[in-house]
Structure 1
Amino acid sequence: MSALHPIPVGWVSTGKTGAQNYDEFADDAEITALVTDHPESMLGVEMPHRTPEAVADGLDFAGALPVASARLAGMIDRGALQPFTDAIAVYRIGADFLALFCLVDTAEIASGPGEPGRVIRNEEVFASKVAERTALIRTLGTLTSPVLLVQAEGSLREELEKLDLGRPDVTDVDQHGLTHAVWLLGPGEDRDRVLEAADVGELVVADGNHRSLAAQQAGLTRFLAVVAPAESASIQPYQRLLRTADLSQVLDGLRAAGAGVQAVDGRPATPARGTVVLYADGQTYEVTLPRAVGTTADRLDHTIVEQLLIRQVLGLTPDDPSISYIGGDYPAGWLAAQVDAGRAALAVLLAPVTVADFVEVNLDRAVMPRKSTWFTPKARTGLVLADVHADFQPEASSR
């Protein structure tokens, strides 16, 4: 039985609502600034407490949920989002990324190692973020942001490249200058062939672990996804900033745990695998991690840092609010500048996880450490939306 389906009732952007996802920002103030400059941005819906009006009123996320509903309704009323029925959407980013928007059965999400399900959610999550996403789904009755699923095998790209698409329904340019293009594809042989090609093998959650779990907790039978061939995406570094840290405690603790610590000249840079770079008080340190044993997941640099530095040396849990997780859009120089400006005490730079290790961890049905894979390019939120009130039962109608 197929696990992938057309979207029975949805909306496609007319060109102004596309935005970075809510979790792509290092500082919430950046979200407020972006929504101020781009009031139709879907960020105003996804992060309603960070809109200029909500910030001025001192609203928290729960208190701002009515703002989210009002903003989304306004976008639809003004024609910023156009309705469609019974369609998937072909999605291209730049020259190389080619995928499709569709719905995927939540019942296919494997609940853990050894559990059934073709959708592998591979990363530890933050309960508070899941709770916010769940509340947003229940309030809006609409899925505004897709989960990125990577297909490990199959012929999806070949089938997508066969399509004669013509003019896209919407285009959008992201902060890196990449063009995002979307084509709606209604009932017919082309749609059936593409869905069949996408519905092959295991699908790994590359981006959207919190969103996929929120769809489950909201009681949805299906969630909104972008399904992409593995070769369409790459993994960039995912770094850490700590607001408070005793540098002497950190260095002494790492040495006591068997790590090699050496002060080096120059500004911090993303290191090679097996080495972590620390930056504090204007000084760069190279830390050679102790050799780890166990599974591929156990041997990842991100796992060792979480266990050794965060838990053992600092006595923190990974969800401690003093830790900020900084994705690949922010270079090493930006992290160093945050420390130099006193907005953080310590920058922790790690090598990116390799695609080979990521695939192996997932085929083992093991769990990646939190915030360890920054896949690029990022799917935009607000380009294709799905109505959860449609009960996710395909209709005979078309756009």
Structure 2
Amino acid sequence: MSAIHPIPVGWVSTGGTGAQNYDEFADDAEITALVAANPDSMLGVEMPHRTPEAVADGLDFARALPAASARLESLVSRGKLAQFTNAIAVYRIGDHFLGMFCLVDTAEIGAGRVIRNEEVFAAKVAERTALIRSLGVLASPVLLVQPEAAGGDTLHDLLTATVDRLGEPTVSDVDQNGLQHDVWLIGPGTDQERLLAVAGTGDLVVADGNHRSLAAQQAGLDRFLAVVAPASSASIQPYQRLLRRLPMPLTGILEGLRAVGCGVHAVDEPPATPSRGTVVLYADGQTYEVKLPAVAGDTVDRIDHTVVEQLLVRQVLGLTPDHPSISYIGGDYPASWLTAEVDAGRAALAVLISPVTVEDFVAVNLDRATMPRKSTWFTPKARTGLVLADLESSR
């Protein structure tokens, strides 16, 4: 029996509701500004405590949840979301990304065909679980990538051929980077059957949405909303770190890194994302290149994010990766943004790390090993608020 299904009852945007996902921001104030500029943005539903009204009233996440439900009901009543039944949705981003919205069995996560092997933050999972239960709707998809098929029709080939035969999309949206997002609803029939069959072949790896997929499990859902895409459609950008406060002087950090086998050198250049095996630090107006020691072990042990977490965060700084002084900064924010945060005094140290390769990411997951948290910033990002699934159809 297939683990991939059409959406029995859902909603598709009629325009204006598409938004970045809640976890794509380095500063919650950006969310408030975006909702103020576009009250129909799904961010107002996904992050109800960050709407202008909630911020003015001092509401936390739990106390703002009723407003999230009211905002979603308003979008439906005003025709910003249109209901559909028994459909999947082909999804194109820009000229390269192709995938499909569908439902996937939560029972497949872990021991089954859906592989989720990245550390998560318990507090974020709790918020997502509470939101699911409050809304009765899944509004933000989990991105699942399918490794290349061994033979026969590939998902990419089939999606390409399907899009070439389709007319105007059901809805189009443009994101903050100028990329166009097109969605085509596909009801029962040959196209839907073939896409579900090919998407249901082989393993699927959680590329984006680790917290959302776990929240679906904790909410007791039988199925979760996903975008299934071939691994070739996605790429991984840098995922950096900012230390808002340091537990010791910078000199002690540099000495500590040398003591654990790193080569540390000051350089007269602005910080930039380094090549693999080197980490760049920036503090007090100075850039440092840190050559990481060779590490034995499996692929995950040799990933730079793993080495940084073990050597810099745990051994030298004496912190855990979920310490509140550590901010995880996704690839939408360039090195110059991190530099500006340090120079402005809003952070004490920037840590720039080489991005994980898609090949290494897939290899680690197929080995059922665990990726370090916040190590893969997949792009392009699926938009929240374009396709929603009714919760009762996911139980």
TM bucket by the smaller chain? over 0.9
TM-score, normalised via structure 1 length? 0.96
* Pairing of 1:285-364 with structure 2 (within 5 A): 285-364=288-367
Q: Does 1:380 align with 2:383?
A: yes
Unaligned runs of 5+ in 2: none
- Who is 1:122 aligned against? 117
How big is the shift at 1:302? 0.2
- Runs of 5+ in structure 1 lacking a partner? 111-115, 393-399
One of 260, 264, 281 as aligned partner of 1:261: 264
Partner of 1:65: 65
Provide, for residues 341-394 of structure 1, a one-character-per-residue CA deviation record: whole Å limited to 9, x for no partner: 0000000000000111111101110010000000000000000000012355xx
Which residue identity does 1:126 align to in structure 2? F
Q: Distance in 1 between matches of 2:264 and 2:365?
A: 32
Query: Distance in 2 between the 1:197 and 1:56 partners?
Result: 49
C-alpha distance in 2 between matches for 1:6 and 1:318: 38
Output the CA distance in 2 between the equivalents of 1:391 and 1:170. Answer: 23
In 2, are the aligned partners of 1:20 and 1:380 still within 8 Å (CA)? Answer: yes
What is the alpha-carbon distance in structure 2 between the residues aligned to residue 305 and residue 2 of structure 1?
40
Q: Which residue of 2 aligns with 1:41?
A: 41
Residues 195-232 of structure 1: CA deviation (Å, up to 9, x unaligned): 10111110000000000000000000000000001110
Q: Give the Cα–Cα distance (whole angstroms) in 1 for the partners of residues 229 and 394 of structure 2.
A: 25
What is the rounded CA distance, in whole Å, between the counterparts of 2:318 and 2:133 in structure 1? 36
For residues 320 and 330 of structure 1, the distance between their equivalents in structure 2, rounded to whole angstroms, comes to: 21
Specify whether residues 391 and 28 from structure 1 end up closer, same or farther in structure 2 by C-alpha distance, changes over 3 A only.
Answer: closer
- Is 2:103–2:394's contact at 8 Å kept on the other side of the alignment? no
* Corresponding residue SS for 1:10: strand
TM-score, normalised by the number of residues in structure 2: 0.97
Q: What secondary structure is seen at the aligned counterpart in 2 of 1:45? A: helix
Q: Does the 8 Å CA contact 1:262/1:285 hold for their aligned counterparts?
A: yes
In the other structure, the counterpart of 2:5 is 5
Q: Are the aligned partners of 2:18 and 2:384 in contact in 1 as well (CA < 8 Å)?
A: yes
Identity of aligned residues (%): 76
CA RMSD in angstroms comes to: 0.8
User: Within 5 Å, which residues of 2 pair with 1:145-184?
Assistant: 145-154=140-149, 155-163=154-162, 164-184=165-185
Distance in 2, Cα, partners of 1:296 & 1:159: 32
Q: How does 1:124-143 map to 2 (within 5 A)?
A: 124-143=119-138
Contact 2:224–2:394, Cα closer than 8 Å, also in 1 = no
Match of residue 17 from structure 1: 17
Report how many aligned residue pairs link the two structures. Answer: 387
Provide runs of 4+ in structure 1 moved above 2 Å. Answer: none
Q: Could you tell me which amino acid in structure 2 is paired with residue 82 of structure 1?
A: A
Paired residue type of 2:356? V
Residues 153 and 201 in structure 1, CA contact (< 8 A), matched pair in contact too? no
- Contact in 1 for aligned 2:223/2:394 (Cα 8 Å): no
Measured after TM superposition, the shift of residue 55 of structure 1 is 0.3
**Corresponding residue for residue 240 of structure 1:** 241
**Cα distance, 1:74 vs structure 2:** 0.7
Question: Which amino acid is the alignment partner of residue 131 of structure 2?
Answer: L
Q: Provide the rounded CA distance (Å) in 1 between the counterparts of 2:252 and 2:382.
A: 40
Aligned equivalents of 1:120, 1:195: Cα separation in 2: 18
Contact 1:173–1:179, Cα closer than 8 Å, also in 2: yes
AA in 1 matched with 2:139: T
What's 2:188 paired with? Answer: 187
| Equivalent position SS for 1:386 | strand
Alignment partners' CA distance in 1, 2:370 and 2:317: 23
1:27 partner amino acid: D
Cα distance in 1 for partners of 2:363, 2:185 equals: 34
2:371 corresponds, among 368, 371, 385, to 368
